[in-house]
Amino acid sequence: MFPKAYHIKNYDFVLILFSVIISVYGVVIIGSARESVQSRQIVGLIIGVCMMIILSLVDYRFLLNFYWIYYFLSLILLFSVLYLGSSHGGATRWITIAGIQFQPSEVAKFLLILFFAKFIMKNKEKLNTVSRILAGLGLFLFPWILIYKEPDLSTSMVFILIFLTMLFIGGLSLRIIFGTLAVGVPVIVLGLMLVLQPNQEIIKDYQQARILAWLQPENYSNDEGYQQQNSIVAIGSGQLTGKGYKNNEVGSVKNGNFISEPQTDFIFAIVGEELGFLGCMAILVLILIIIVEVLRIGWSAPDISGTLVCAGVAAHLGFQTFFNVAVTTAVLPNTGIPLPFVSYGMTSLISIFMELGVVLNVGLLRQKDRF
């Protein structure tokens, strides 16, 4: 079934198993949060698993040969949002083709991980030169600006962290990294001060309101801070084991419809209320296991491009999970980002499984395990 270069013993069934388990977990929770979309998530899971298996059997080194196609395809998809996109909640992030709605930024994450894995590998020996750094930043900024303008602040932040992680793994000098941080941190602080000023034009008004609601929750409890405050109440009320799956309690935050779109950005709050601390920890542990498996595969990849693909996927899953949980617990302002594997969203789920398919192929070709 496999080419001679493949060894079935290297096929990471653990990664597949835990990815499917947490996705099924997500389908179950979506059934409680908004049952009307549960069937579509099941379809997304089936398609995602099929795509994962198919991609796991295609040599990732062959796929990376088309890296420029992936880059320009991601730009075309992101550009299309500006002209063909549909708006929801003040953002334009979705396009509809042949009756199928999808989110290009989710697909772009996958395509750009592949692109930068190949780009960094090809420029590894000169990665710390000014010309290569500027070239990499320029190629990064084009898609990043398009994502930011949707506006999709949370995805643009995750994209930055994915890019930086891949640069670091690719061999970017620590001197450059620390120098950038020395300049970047003060700039971020200054930027935060500027966006909080009246009549600023750096970010959208609703984004400014969300930051203010995070900093001053007592002053925004009835408007922009409403979602996060109710999310905290829901998670806290679940205590250790929760109020029960699809419970009928009158005091339930979910049953009272106090959280809008509970099947997407705030699904972690539904888990906390219905399944408690143990239910929340189950999600985090499952995602941690998946990330560790991805990193383990990357550690023993046959070349640096395979390692970079795995690093990008691990960064995607890790940082996106952090942002989602941080938003639902009010550690960060409300930026709106799905929880990997668990939140409703066919595009997100299928794209993640496609990423894992490439990772599995890296594992099939890996060298002797270093652990």
- Whether 90 has a pLDDT exceeding 70, the answer reads no
Residue 194: φ, ψ to 5°: -70, -40
Domains identified in the chain, total number: 1
Residues making up the chain, counted from first to last: 371
> Is 165 among the domain residues?
yes
pLDDT of 168 strictly over 70: yes
Q: Rounded to whole angstroms, how far apart are CA atoms 321 and 228?
A: 16
The per-residue pLDDT for range 103-140, each reduced to its tens digit, is 888 999 999 999 999 999 999 988 889 899 999 999 99
pLDDT in the model for residue 294 = 97
Cα→Cα distances 132→15, 112, 311, Å:
35, 17, 20
| pLDDT at residue 99 in the model | 65
Are the beta carbons of 302 and 367 closer than 8 angstroms?
A: yes
Write down the pLDDT at residue 370.
43
Asked if the model's pLDDT at residue 3 lies above 60, the reply is no
Residue 370 is assigned to a structural domain of this protein: no
pLDDT higher than threshold 80 for residue 150? no
What pairs with residue 100 in β-bridges?
97
For residue 263, the tally of other CB atoms under 10 A from its CB is: 25
Q: How many CA atoms lie within 13 A of 151 on its CB side?
A: 12
159 within domain boundaries = yes
pLDDT digits (tens, 9 = 90+) for 40-61: 999 999 999 999 999 999 999 9
Of residues 259 and 279, which shows the higher confidence score? 279
pLDDT of residue 285: 97
Q: Is the pLDDT of residue 34 over 80?
A: yes
Lowest mean pLDDT among 160-164, 259-263, 303-307, 360-364: 259-263
- What are the backbone dihedrals phi and psi of residue 223, each rounded to the nearest 5 degrees, phi first? -135, -100
Tell me, yes or no, whether 369 lies in a domain: no
Whether the pLDDT of residue 88 is over 70: the answer is: no
- Is residue 213, in this structure, part of any structural domain at all? yes
Q: Which of 78, 131, 140 is nearest to 107 (CA)?
A: 78
328 C-beta neighbours (distance < 10 Å), count = 27
Confidence at residue 335, expressed as pLDDT on a 0 to 100 scale: 79
pTM of the model: 0.90
**pLDDT higher for 267 or 248?**
267
Higher pLDDT among residues 67 and 334, named by residue: 67
Instruction: Read off the pLDDT of each residue in 216-239 and give the average, rounded to a whole number.
Output: 76
DSSP reduced 3-state for 343: coil
Q: How confident is the model at residue 39 (pLDDT cuts 50, 70, 90)?
A: very high
| Residue 371 predicted with pLDDT over 90 | no
167 assigned to some structural domain: yes
Once rounded to an integer, what is the mean pLDDT over residues 181-209?
Answer: 73
**Which helix (H) or strand (E) segment is 145 a member of?**
helix 130-148
Say what the pLDDT of residue 5 is: 63
Q: How far apart are CA 294 and CA 351, in angstroms?
A: 15
Q: Please state, in angstroms and rounded to a whole number, the distance separating the CA atoms of residues 49 and 28.
A: 17
What CA–CA distance (Å, rounded) separates 192 from 211?
Answer: 9
- Let me know if 329 is exposed, middle or buried by CB neighbors in 10 A (0-12, 13-18, 19+): middle
Q: Which domain holds residue 150?
A: 8-364
Residue 69 confidence (pLDDT) above 60? yes
Q: Rounded CA gap, 140 and 191, in Å?
A: 20
Nearest to 320 by CA among 119, 48, 106, 100: 106
* pLDDT for the residue numbered 217: 67
Strand 86-88 vs strand 100-102: parallel, antiparallel, or unpaired? unpaired
CA distances from 213 to 139, 157, 225, 324 (A): 34, 19, 5, 17
